[in-house]
Amino acid sequence: MAFTCRSCGLEVTSNADCPWCGVSEPIAEVAGLDDASPEEVLRELQARVIAQNEELERLSRRLEALEWGGPPSPAEPPP
């Protein structure tokens, strides 16, 4: 089962205090993972982190190109 902190949004696998911000409020379950095994939760969260990192990298390259006044890099797909 996976949970998400109501304060900072960090996804965790325990309904304990948030390890990032320390909030001890109740932590809500992450939708779609209610009946998942710990291994399934871990795989799903890893996939989400990878996708978020790829999006962050794409946006970072785009921002850098805009700061330099040039077009996005050739490997950059159009938005």
Structural domain boundaries in the chain = 3-67
Q: How confident is the model at residue 17 (pLDDT cuts 50, 70, 90)?
A: confident
What is residue 12's three-state secondary structure?
strand
Looking at residues 41-52, what average pLDDT do you find?
Answer: 85
- Two tokens at 25? 């409020």
Contact, 7 vs 15, CB < 8 A? Answer: no
Residue 78 has pLDDT above 60, yes or no: no
Between residues 10 and 60, the one the model is more confident about:
60
| Mean predicted lDDT score pLDDT of the chain | 74
Which of 13-17, 46-50, 53-57 is the least confident region? 13-17
Greater confidence, 60 or 22? Answer: 60
**Residue 78: alpha-carbon gap to chain centroid:** 23
E strand map for 1-79: 3-4, 11-12, 28-29
Distance CA 34, CA 57 (A): 30
